[in-house]
Chain A
Amino acid sequence: MPTKIEKDTATGRMTTGHEWDGIKELNTPLPKWWLYVFYISIAFSAVWVLLFPGIPLGTTYFKGLLGYSTRVEHVENLAAVEAGRADVLAKIRATDVADILKDPATATYAVAGGRVAFAENCAACHGAGGAGQSGYPALGDDSWLWGGDIHTIRQTLMHGIRSVTDPDTRMSEMPAFGQILDREQITTLTSYVLSLSGAATPAAAVMEQGQTLFADNCAACHGDNGQGNREFGAPSLADQLWLYGGTEAEVAGQITQPRHGVMPNWGGRLDEATINMLAVYVHSLGGGE
């Protein structure tokens, strides 16, 4: 509170009693219209409260004279979005995936939709963006166990891999060579297999023996030079990618007691439009053939 209210000699007005650097503040009244604007604001808020919901009434609330609700509006907006999507989703559902790729606008939509579906359903195993992890193939590289063209990708998505619930699933089993070969043979084979992908070449005798063992036991599925065979989903052993790791111990382990990854069949679980969008998205990750 101002302590000393006095009259300003120059203007004859009252001061507020505030003083800064010898300058006293005059007590100048606000203009009347200012007051009226304040009253109008009060009236406006009263009307607003009547028109729109906002007053709680025990377990319910006053709905407002306009019956407006942000929730209703949100539901309507969602319905509008769904309706807007219906056309393009129907088109994606009915179109062969290869033809989707030929239509840039639909393909772009499918990639965007596929990205979302991938994050929900696939990223848990294959990693965000198809990064892959040990035992789960990366989807962005240029190596495909079963083939990387759009139809093959869609087939894999629909029926999965070694999925017991789908009779059309992709099936292959690598025998457990731990019961067929002895420990020394497996060590030899491991050295040979590693040399296929550029690791140090073992001694000539080991190399020769490994070659024979490979031709007898592995070449039928993995190919004469370890190039792999997509018919059986047999991975290439001559490239730099190892699904279950590329150390001696890991390779030897996979020969002795192979692990077989299982991918569920998504046909029936996901809408066909979503499957198609996923196929287009996975194909677009950079390894599509």
Chain B
Amino acid sequence: MSTSGIDLDGHHEETAQPALFANRLKVYPKAVKGPVRRIKWALLVVMLGIYYILPWVRWDRGPGRPDQALLLDMEGRRGYFFNLEIWPDEIYYLAGLLILAAVLLFLVTSLYGRLWCGYACPQTVWTDLFMWVERLIEGDRAERIRNDKAKLTVRKAGRKIAKHMVWLVIAALTGGAWIMYFRDAPTVTVELLTGSASGMAYSMFALFTVTTYVLAGWAREQVCTYMCPWPRFQAAMLDDQTVTVTYQGWRGETRGKYRKGESFEGRGDCVDCAQCVQVCPTGIDIRDGIQLECINCGLCVDACDNVMEKLHRPKSLITWDTFANQAALGRGETPKPMKLIRPRTMIYTGLIVVLGAVMLAQLLTRTRVDTTLIRDRAPLFVTLSDGSIRNGYTLKITNRRVEPASFAVMVDGPEGLKATVHLADGQELPADDVEVRGDGVGSLRMFVSMPRAIIPEEQTPLHVTVRNQTTGEEAHVDTMFVAPPSGADRTQRSNSVAPVQMP
């Protein structure tokens, strides 16, 4: 594995005793044309388009509800994803989605290398955009190197300032769009522009503007090589059947300078033009093999193909291929098609299928009612004047629907038990008509009493069902009914609490 200590001509730096800290070797990526570049441009437009436009997509949810298709409403503590509404305690959907995305990333990486890094990672996409701006204002690689070495002139300063201004505008748009995922987009735009947004909105706006500017404008490949954890363990996803950007060493070597008209007999196809190095956004030499810094973007493929075309040599001296095929080709054997079915791809696919199925099943069967039941611990039970035993519970019914609804509370237990539902102040409600406001939690008291004669044991399991009377959705919860020890004489100190072991 190579390190970043490579100068621009692709030669290794010779240092006797390395310093503790190294200056950055600035990378000046050269513009390149070709099919890979076109795909990258197309993906860049699509992904940035989604990012900037998505918050503006409206979604009618009725009066008094946010009409933004995708909104993480922190103040209201709701997540809105089109038709889906997520409550804070349903955050596992988000966690599940992230796990799914991670396994998907593992699968894609094991099949096709770091496609995420090269094409879809925000760091790559924004850096690409910033480089495009840089190229428009300051020119291509050679001109930028010259410009940076030249003395400061008005023209040089003007171009630098213009570049940074455009970068800052893009960064501000990026930071602004981020806020829109958390607040209503049109409202927060007006607020940000008129100075009436919250301090939180401004600090988040500033944070994402600054990080975009610094990371995409200044840090660039250093984010990938020093800050990002992914390159450190992505090698664990790769095997010899993984398709990665590869230099066909068996064909390219022995490399050497090429003069027009010379024969390619007895030498490699690589003419050591260093085009692959000059276009690389992370500044590496792909001919050194797969390495930590390589983000598999394939711009070197375009660059090399262009050169091969001019030389009338076959393309694909740098190409996507598996390690196994390259080894086979090197030995002069016929390469086999890539093996898609491998233990690791099967495990990842299996995980994705299982996880996806679990999440989908969970989503399709989820109800908009939830309930919790907390048994009173003091007192554990109360003896009533007729000798029956009563337990108290705090019952919470969560109505996740927008409409207020009437709920029925049903308690399953021994025949003869009596359950009543009360408001917090003690007022009794009909157990089949417990009103809970829409988008809210009803906090209630529940009393269950049983005559001493029918209590089967000291701790009797109860099953409580809460049903939305309109939609029929149900939530279930299990609890206990606690009674004094059965051996106790019922005339004895029944007013006081006998010690009962809780489970």
Do chains A and B stick together as partners? yes
Interface set of A (CB-CB < 8 Å, partner B): 11-14, 26-35, 100-101, 104, 107-108, 110-111, 127-134, 137-138, 140-143, 194, 197-199, 236, 239-243, 245-247, 280, 283-288
Partner of B378, one of A127, A194, A242: A127
Residues B445 and A284 in contact, CB atoms below 8 Å apart:
yes
Known contacts A13-B15, A26-B3, A284-B422, then 10 further A-B pairs from the complex at CB < 8 Å, ordered by chain A residue: A11-B12, A12-B15, A29-B18, A129-B378, A131-B378, A143-B385, A194-B491, A247-B492, A280-B425, A285-B426
Partner of A129, one of B3, B13, B16, B376: B376
Residues B386 and A239 in contact, CB atoms below 8 Å apart:
yes
B346 interface hit (Cβ, 8 Å): no
Contact partners of A107 in chain B: CB under 8 A: 423-425
Within 8 A of A (CB), among B2-40: 2-3, 5, 12-24
> Please, how many angstroms separate the alpha-carbon atoms of A285 and B376 in the complex?
11
Residues A246 and B494 in contact, CB atoms below 8 Å apart:
yes
B362 interface hit (Cβ, 8 Å): no
Residues B495 and A241 in contact, CB atoms below 8 Å apart:
yes
Instruction: Return A252 CB to nearest CB of chain B, in Å.
Output: 13
B427 interface hit (Cβ, 8 Å): yes
Residues A104 and B21 in contact, CB atoms below 8 Å apart:
no
> Please, how many angstroms separate the alpha-carbon atoms of A14 and B493 in the complex?
85
Residues B493 and A242 in contact, CB atoms below 8 Å apart:
yes
Q: Which residue of B lies closest to A198 (CB)?
A: B387
Counting contact residues on chain B (CB < 8 A from A), the size range is: 35 or more
Contact partners of A287 in chain B: CB under 8 A: 382
Partner of A11, one of B2, B492, B493: B2
Partner of A13, one of B3, B23, B390: B3
Within 8 A of A (CB), among B212-234: 219, 222, 226
> Please, how many angstroms separate the alpha-carbon atoms of A12 and B385 in the complex?
93
Instruction: Return A282 CB to nearest CB of chain B, in Å.
Output: 9
Partner of B424, one of A29, A111, A137, A198: A111
> Please, how many angstroms separate the alpha-carbon atoms of A80 and B497 in the complex?
41
Known A131-B497, A142-B385; judge A242-B23 contact (CB<8 A).
no
B460 interface hit (Cβ, 8 Å): no
B447 interface hit (Cβ, 8 Å): yes
B55 interface hit (Cβ, 8 Å): no
Known A13-B5, A33-B222, A107-B425; judge A130-B385 contact (CB<8 A).
no
> Please, how many angstroms separate the alpha-carbon atoms of A192 and B118 in the complex?
94
B58 interface hit (Cβ, 8 Å): no
Residues A31 and B497 in contact, CB atoms below 8 Å apart:
no
Cross-chain pairs A/B with CB under 8 angstroms, 9 sampled: A14-B16, A30-B22, A32-B24, A127-B379, A129-B378, A134-B495, A240-B387, A284-B424, A286-B392
Instruction: Return B332 CB to nearest CB of chain A, in Å.
Output: 26
Residues A128 and B379 in contact, CB atoms below 8 Å apart:
yes
Instruction: Return B244 CB to nearest CB of chain A, in Å.
Output: 20
Contact partners of A197 in chain B: CB under 8 A: 491
Contact partners of A32 in chain B: CB under 8 A: 21-24
Contact partners of A108 in chain B: CB under 8 A: 423-425, 443
B384 interface hit (Cβ, 8 Å): yes
> Please, how many angstroms separate the alpha-carbon atoms of A26 and B2 in the complex?
10
Contact partners of B445 in chain A: CB under 8 A: 284, 286
Contact partners of B382 in chain A: CB under 8 A: 131, 138, 140-141, 286-287
Residues A138 and B492 in contact, CB atoms below 8 Å apart:
no
Q: Which residue of A lies closest to B497 (CB)?
A: A131
Known A107-B425, A284-B445; judge A31-B22 contact (CB<8 A).
yes
> Please, how many angstroms separate the alpha-carbon atoms of A111 and B387 in the complex?
27
Known A13-B3, A110-B425; judge A133-B490 contact (CB<8 A).
no
Instruction: Return B392 CB to nearest CB of chain A, in Å.
Output: 6
B278 interface hit (Cβ, 8 Å): no
Residues B426 and A246 in contact, CB atoms below 8 Å apart:
no
Residues B423 and A12 in contact, CB atoms below 8 Å apart:
no
> Please, how many angstroms separate the alpha-carbon atoms of A241 and B493 in the complex?
8
Contact partners of B424 in chain A: CB under 8 A: 104, 107-108, 111, 284
> Please, how many angstroms separate the alpha-carbon atoms of A138 and B24 in the complex?
78
Instruction: Return A182 CB to nearest CB of chain B, in Å.
Output: 25
Instruction: Return B396 CB to nearest CB of chain A, in Å.
Output: 13
B383 interface hit (Cβ, 8 Å): yes
The 10 closest A-B pairs by CB, nearest first: A131-B379, A128-B378, A240-B387, A107-B425, A239-B385, A284-B426, A129-B378, A246-B491, A29-B22, A143-B385
Contact partners of B385 in chain A: CB under 8 A: 141-143, 236, 239-241
> Please, how many angstroms separate the alpha-carbon atoms of A51 and B222 in the complex?
33
Contact partners of B422 in chain A: CB under 8 A: 284, 286
Contact partners of A111 in chain B: CB under 8 A: 424-425
B471 interface hit (Cβ, 8 Å): no
Q: Which residue of B lies closest to A106 (CB)?
A: B425
> Please, how many angstroms separate the alpha-carbon atoms of A26 and B24 in the complex?
18
Q: Which residue of B lies closest to A128 (CB)?
A: B378
Instruction: Return B124 CB to nearest CB of chain A, in Å.
Output: 19
Within 8 A of A (CB), among B423-451: 423-427, 443, 445, 447
Partner of A243, one of B378, B379, B495: B495
Contact partners of B392 in chain A: CB under 8 A: 129, 140, 285-286
Residues B490 and A240 in contact, CB atoms below 8 Å apart:
yes
Contact partners of B378 in chain A: CB under 8 A: 127-129, 131
Instruction: Return B5 CB to nearest CB of chain A, in Å.
Output: 7
Q: Which residue of A lies closest to B25 (CB)?
A: A31
Residues A12 and B222 in contact, CB atoms below 8 Å apart:
no
B198 interface hit (Cβ, 8 Å): no
Contact partners of A14 in chain B: CB under 8 A: 15-18
B496 interface hit (Cβ, 8 Å): yes
> Please, how many angstroms separate the alpha-carbon atoms of A280 and B426 in the complex?
9
> Please, how many angstroms separate the alpha-carbon atoms of A80 and B423 in the complex?
29
Residues B426 and A101 in contact, CB atoms below 8 Å apart:
yes
Q: Which residue of B lies closest to A133 (CB)?
A: B496
Residues A33 and B20 in contact, CB atoms below 8 Å apart:
no
Most buried by B among A31, A129, A137, A288: A31
Q: Digit string of B415-426 for contact with A (CB within 8 Å is 1, else 0)?
A: 000000011111
> Please, how many angstroms separate the alpha-carbon atoms of A100 and B426 in the complex?
12
> Please, how many angstroms separate the alpha-carbon atoms of A239 and B495 in the complex?
11
